[in-house]
Amino acid sequence: MEKNMQTQFLETVSLIGQESQIISEERKITLDQLAQSIKDSMANFGFAKVISVCTHNSRRSQLMQIVLQFLADQKGISGIETFSGGTEGTAFNYRMVDALRHFGFDLRVDKPGENPVYQLYETEDSAREDYYFSKRFDNSYNPQEQFIAVMVCDEADVACPFVPGAFNRISLPYIDPKVSDDTPEEAQTYQDKVVEIAREMRYVVERL
C-alpha cells in the first residue's frame, strides 16, 4: 500500500484481462446488459448508482461493490458509485475480507462489533469515504431511487422480483464461496471468487 492502492490486485487484473474468452457467451449477454444499463443511467441522470444484492450482504455483494468501484476508478470513469445490500443484514464475512486483503485491499475495522464497519485505505493514512458493512438493500446508507440493482445470488433474485426505486434490475448470480467454509479449500475458493468477479467486472468496465 505504500506505493499506490491495491498494486497486487492491479497486477492480477492485468493478467485476467486476456481471459475474457473464459466468460461464456450467455454470461456476456448479461454483462453487456449491465454495461448498457450503466451507460443509460449516466445518460439519463448523469450518474450510475449500482447496488449489488445477495441474501446476507456478507460475501459476493460486498466483493462486487468493492471491485466494480475500484475498476471504474482506475479507468477514470466518473459518476459511478457502488453499493451493496441484502434481503437481511448479517456481517461482512471475515473470509471475504481476508481474500480481498490477499489482493492488496487494505480493509480496516472502523467500528468493531457483531456487524463490523470497515473502511478501505488507499494509502497508509488515507481511507475512502465509503463504509462497508452488512445491511438490507433498502438501508438508508444506500440510494433509494434511480439505481441499478444487480442480484448476485439466486435466493435474492427470487426473494426480490421487484426492487422499489430501481432504474433497472439485472440477475447476475454467482456461486457462494460459503460452500468451502471450514475446509482446506476455503482460502483458495474465496480468492478464486475475487478473480472471477474481477474478470467479469473488468469486462463490464471495458465497455463503458
User: What are the boundaries of each domain within the chain?
Assistant: 7-205
Question: Does residue 4 register a pLDDT over 70?
Answer: no
pLDDT, one tens digit per residue, over 80-132 is 999 999 999 999 999 999 999 998 899 999 999 999 999 999 878 878 889 99
Extract the C-alpha cell encoding 19. 481471459
Cell 434481503 sits on residue: 87
Extract the C-alpha cell encoding 176. 457462494
Cell 449477454 sits on residue: 29
Residues 6+ apart with CB under 8 A from 6: 70, 103, 104, 105, 106
CATH fold of 7-205, please? Answer: Rossmann fold (3.40.50)
